[in-house]
Amino acid sequence: MSDRAPGENAKPVPRAIVAGHGDFASGLVSAVDVITGRGTQLIPVAVPGLCAEDIEKLIRERMTESGVKVIFTDLQAGSCTMAARRILRGADDAVLIAGVNLPTLLDFVFADQMPAIDAARHAAERGRGAISVVGAAGGGGGGGGGGGGVKQA
Amino acid sequence: MTLVLHRIDDRLIHGQVVVGWGQPLDIRFIVLVDDEVAASEWEQELYRMGVPPEMDVYFLNVARAVDELPRLRADTRQGILLTGDIDTMRRLVDSGGITSVNLGGIHHRTGRSQRLRYVFLNNDEESALREIAALGVSISAQDVPGARPVPLDDILAGVAS
C-alpha cells in the first residue's frame, strides 16, 4: 500500500477525452473529480448544435492540443461516437471506449501507472461489470466493484 | 405499418434517431438515403455499428430510393426514412408519397443563419423548404418526440425560438 495521501499522486496531464450528449461529459468528469481529485486527467467535450463534421473537428482538435489517444463516449449510436470512429479510422495508436460510465472512468484515472490505452481497455472491463440490479425479486449483487462500484437500488 | 417518419438530419444515424425516436415508435428499420453513404462500404459499416441488432438499415442512393420506396412503404414494420440534407428530401418528395417532413437537425455551417437551436438555414435551403411545402407537404421541426413540433411557417417567420 502506498503511504501517499489520497490525490497526492494525481496527474494534471490529460489522458483522455470524454464526449457525449448534453452535459454528460462535464457531469461525469465532475463526478470523477469529486470522488478522486483526478478529474484533470479527463477533458470533457460537449457538442451542442454542431453538425457531424464540426463534432469530428472539435474532438480532433482536442486530441491534437492535448496529445491524448483515448476517447470515451456515451452512446454507441451517438454522434460523438460516430465522429470518434472516423478519427480512429486507420489510427493504430488510439482507442475509443463507447458506452462509458462512472466506474469505468474511476478505474481509468487510478490506473495512471499504465499506458493510457491499456488503462482504458482495463477500465472498460471494470465498467462493464459494475452495473448491478437490486430488489424486485431479482436478487442482489452481481457486478464487480468497477473502480469504486457503489451499488445503487 | 410503414415509414412513420421522414426526417432531415445532418447527423444521419445518431442517438436521437435510434433511441429518441426509435424506441417509442418501435422502429425496426431505417432507410438512409444519401448518395455518398450509399457509395461507401466504410460509411455504411460506421452507421450500421450504431444501431441495435434488431433494427435493419438500408442504404440507398436517391435514384434507387425512388424505385424502392413503394416496396419499403409496404413493409409490415415501422421505419424511418432519413436524409442528411434538404435537397435529397426534396428529390424524394418529388417522386411522390411523402406527406410530412420532420426537420430533426440542420446544424450550423458557414452561410446559414439560426432559426431554432438545431435548425440553421441558408437562403437556398429556405427556398427549398418553401417549395416542398407548396407541394402540400407538412413540414415541422422536432428534434425528439417530447419536443413541441414547430411548423415551418413559424420557423421562417422567426417566431419560434
In this predicted structure, the answer to whether residue B11 has a pLDDT above a threshold of 70 is yes
In this predicted structure, the answer to whether residue B135 has a pLDDT above a threshold of 70 is yes
Nearest-CA distance from A153 to chain B in Å? 24
A56: closest chain B residue by CA: B11
- Per-residue confidence (pLDDT) for residue B123, from 0 to 100: 96
| B22 compared with A139, residue with greater pLDDT | B22
Strands B78-83, B3-9: pairing is: parallel
Q: Residues B88-111: pLDDT tens digits?
A: 999 999 999 999 999 999 999 889
Work out how many CB contacts closer than 8 A connect A with B: 48
Per-residue pLDDT of chain A (153 residues; tens, 9 = 90+): 344 444 455 446 899 999 999 999 999 999 999 999 999 999 999 998 888 999 999 999 999 999 999 999 999 989 999 999 999 998 889 999 999 999 999 999 999 999 999 999 999 999 999 999 998 876 555 444 444 444 443
Q: For chain A, say whether B13 makes contact (Cβ under 8 Å).
A: yes
What is the percent of chain B with per-residue pLDDT over 70, rounded to a whole number?
Answer: 98
Distance CA B65, CA A2 (A): 64
Distance CA B32, CA B85 (A): 11
Q: For chain B, say whether A54 makes contact (Cβ under 8 Å).
A: yes
- Cβ-defined contact of A79 to B19 (cutoff 8 Å): no
Chain A residue numbers touching B11 (CB-CB < 8 A)? 51-52, 79, 82
Residue reference for cell 421522414: B6
Distance CA A95, CA A102 (A): 18
Amino acid at B82: L
pTM of the prediction?
A: 0.83
- Where would I find the beta strands (DSSP E) of chain A? 16-20, 42-46, 70-73, 95-98
Q: For chain A, say whether B111 makes contact (Cβ under 8 Å).
A: no
As for the ipTM of the complex, it is: 0.79
